[in-house]
Amino acid sequence: MGTGVARKISESTVRRLSLYLRFLEEFEEQGTETLSSEELARRGSTTAAQVRKDLSLFGSFGKRGLGYSVRELKSTLRRLLGLDRAWRVALIGAGRIGSALFAYGDFRRRGFTIVTVLDTDPDKIGARWGSVRIQDAEGLEEVLRRESVDIAILAVPVEEAQRVADRVVDAGVQAVLNFAPTQLHVPTEVALRDVSMSMELEALSFALTTGNGTGP
């Protein structure tokens, strides 16, 4: 029990924890106070055993014979995922994808605050988006340090992505979310996730072609 030992948590478990948290928020809105692993599982297309196993990696949060307190489990998951604090995010690239991401409400709602936006286009530099002013990507390292950025979102053209990633890493940022359709290389201590929209479409193409499903 406890979060003491730094077990190796699998990617799939982390994804499911995020999902559970979403469901708990929905259940809370509906006024549900208590929930069984069975009900969580149904909502998330998984199994009750999987839910319990996932949670048991971090401790014992349920009451036998009863289930889980929605309120408690919700705040436990928020804490486990590190969502009990505000993360400072830099958005690099103020193009179409960048601007869509900037306006994306779900980020803010979950504690990710875009504290700075950078671009190289002189026509964009200096413009205001809400309360932030677009910075010149020329001074990227300085800006990221000054703003104590925790996470960098890369929404830059594919040709520039690796170069920008290198600079972001140089600036000491430990987490990168990449939207460019390329495989970035970063040191192992830097966390990297890709949002690969074309690859998702290709997986659908494959599923349509072979008749293979995609779901679990």
Partner DNA sequence: ACATGTGAACTGCTTCACAGCG
Partner DNA sequence: CGCTGTGAAGCAGTTCACATGT
Residue closer to a second copy (CB basis): 137 or 155: 155
Verify binding: residue 99, a second copy, rule CB under 8 A: yes
What is the number of alpha carbons within 13 Å of residue 103 lying toward its C-beta? 7
53 binds, among DNA, a second copy, none (CB under 5 to 8 A by kind): DNA
127 binds, among a second copy, DNA, none (CB under 5 to 8 A by kind): none
Q: Distance between CA atoms of 56 and 7, rounded to whole angstroms?
A: 12
115 within 8 A of 89, measured Cβ to Cβ: yes
Q: Scanning residues 111 to 130, which ones bind DNA (CB under 7 A)?
A: none
Give least dist CB 19 to DNA, A. Answer: 12
Verify binding: residue 66, DNA, rule CB under 7 A: yes
Verify binding: residue 50, DNA, rule CB under 7 A: yes
Q: Which of 40, 92, 97, 118 binds a second copy (CB under 8 A)?
A: 97
Q: How many CB atoms lie within 10 A of CB 107?
A: 17
Q: Scanning residues 30 to 89, which ones bind a second copy (CB under 8 A)?
A: 43-45, 80-83, 87, 89
36 binds, among DNA, a second copy, none (CB under 5 to 8 A by kind): DNA
Q: Which of 49, 66, 100, 127 binds a second copy (CB under 8 A)?
A: 100
Residue closer to DNA (CB basis): 18 or 60: 60
Q: Which of 22, 25, 28, 36 binds DNA (CB under 7 A)?
A: 36
Verify binding: residue 69, DNA, rule CB under 7 A: no
Q: Distance between CA atoms of 48 and 36, rounded to whole angstroms?
A: 8
Enter the tokens of residue 44.
Answer: 């998330």
Residues that bind a second copy (CB under 8 A): 6, 8-9, 11, 14-15, 17-19, 21-23, 43-45, 80-83, 87, 89, 96-97, 99-101, 103-104, 106-107, 110-112, 150-151, 158, 174-177, 181-183, 185, 188-189, 191-193, 195-215
